[in-house]
């Protein structure tokens, strides 16, 4: 069976994207993240003004409504939430990798390379107010699956590879590296051809970068170019968003034979 024939398949129904492949091991950065084994992963579009906080119950309701309820023998796989219409989801396939993305940037997260003077490490970052951030507004969600069997570290690293490709694509297309609610799910086939590494120089890593770039770009264009909406030009122009303007304190780690001053 070729990679194309055995790829991760997807179906859109009633605002839910189901990505499926039997016995996949998933690793998710979403609200119920971590590792699990399940036949499917999901991306669920939430309506404008959505305020639910019982996320598990909400996802179950949406899967049931879309007739995507897992069978008794299959645990519910990872689920992501997005404010982007699932009709704007796009997929891309390259070699042993398939990726699906929904992309909107109504809640950009900017990272200035030249922060404003005065916002330094003495600021109490623990007091950051996140109450005004509404989950699901905009959001760039990416689900990546490979037909290879990845070593534990390679599966974890694939999240970094996908996130890097997402950020590079968003910077090129929108000027922002991400949003306040982005999430990534990666999956692999434990019965596939074993692979120890997934960096950008490997077949799996390179294919993931290409798939994420092209899926995110296509979803952005579906969300904006094919509609009357436009992405914000800055955080100030956005309905929601943040800019990380704090400056961290930079230091050189001491050598083993150097005295270490106690922290104040």
Give backbone dihedrals phi and psi of 109, rounded to 5 degrees, phi first: -120, 100
Give backbone dihedrals phi and psi of 25, rounded to 5 degrees, phi first: -95, 125
**Which residues are within 8 A (CB) of 188 and not within 5 positions of it... i.e. 6 or more apart?**
24, 25, 145, 146, 147, 148, 149, 150, 155, 158
29-40 pLDDT, tens digit per residue, is 998 899 999 999
109-161 pLDDT, tens digit per residue, is 999 998 776 666 555 555 555 444 454 457 999 999 999 999 999 999 999 99
Helix (H) / strand (E) element for 42: namely strand 34-45
Domain extent at residue 104: 9-122+137-243
Residue 263 within any structural domain of the chain? no
Residue 232 within any structural domain of the chain? yes
Report the C-alpha dihedral over residues 161, 167, 170, 176, rounded to 10 degrees. 170
**Which residues are within 8 A (CB) of 29 and not within 5 positions of it... i.e. 6 or more apart?**
159, 183, 184, 185
Please tell me the predicted confidence (pLDDT) of residue 231: 85
Residue 53 within any structural domain of the chain? yes
Domain count along the chain: 1
88 token code pair: 């704007």
Residue 23 within any structural domain of the chain? yes
* Distance, CA of 251 to CA of 253 (rounded, Å): 6
Q: What is the pTM of this model?
A: 0.89
DSSP state of 231: -
Q: Which of 180, 149, 146, 175 has the alpha carbon at shortest distance from 162?
A: 146
Residue 258 within any structural domain of the chain? no
Residue 257 within any structural domain of the chain? no
> Which CATH number belongs to the domain containing residue 27 in this structure?
3.60.70
Mean pLDDT of 240-251: 89
Residue with tokens 């001053």: 261
How are beta strands 97-103 and 9-13 bridged, if at all?
unpaired
Residue 66 within any structural domain of the chain? yes
Contacts 24+ apart (CB under 8 A), 166-174: 166/101, 166/140, 166/142, 166/212, 166/216, 168/213, 169/212, 169/213, 169/216, 169/217, 170/103, 170/105, 170/140, 170/216, 170/220, 173/216, 173/217, 173/220, 174/105, 174/108, 174/220, 174/231
Q: Mean pLDDT lowest for which of 50-54, 123-127, 181-185?
A: 123-127
Q: Which of 1-5, 121-125, 213-217 has the highest mean pLDDT?
A: 213-217
Residue 89 within any structural domain of the chain? yes
């Amino acid at each position: 069976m070729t990679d194309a024939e055995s790829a991760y398949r997807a179906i859109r129904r009633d605002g839910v994207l189901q990505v499926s492949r039997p016995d996949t091991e998933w690793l998710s950065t979403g609200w119920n993240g971590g590792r699990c084994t399940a036949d499917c992963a999901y991306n669920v579009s939430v309506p404008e003004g959505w305020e639910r906080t019982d996320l598990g119950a909400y996802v179950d309701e949406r899967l049931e409504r879309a007739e995507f309820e897992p069978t008794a023998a299959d645990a519910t796989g990872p689920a992501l939430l997005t404010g982007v219409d699932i009709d704007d989801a796009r997929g891309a396939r390259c070699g042993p990798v398939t990726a699906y993305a929904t992309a909107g940037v109504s809640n950009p997260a900017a990272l200035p390379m030249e922060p404003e003077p005065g916002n330094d490490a003495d600021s109490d970052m623990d007091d950051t107010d996140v109450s005004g951030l509404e989950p699901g507004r905009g959001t760039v969600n990416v689900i990546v699956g490979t037909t290879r069997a990845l070593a534990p570290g390679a599966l974890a690293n694939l999240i970094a590879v996908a996130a890097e490709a997402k950020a590079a694509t968003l910077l090129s297309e929108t000027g922002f590296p991400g949003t306040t609610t982005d999430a990534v799910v990666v999956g692999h086939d434990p019965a596939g051809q074993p692979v120890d590494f997934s960096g950008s120089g490997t077949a799996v890593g390179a294919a993931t970068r290409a798939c994420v770039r092209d899926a995110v770009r296509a979803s952005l264009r579906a969300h904006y170019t094919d509609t009357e909406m436009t992405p914000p030009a800055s955080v100030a122009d956005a309905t929601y968003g943040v800019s990380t303007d704090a400056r961290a304190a930079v230091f050189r780690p001491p050598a083993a034979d150097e005295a270490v001053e106690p922290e104040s």
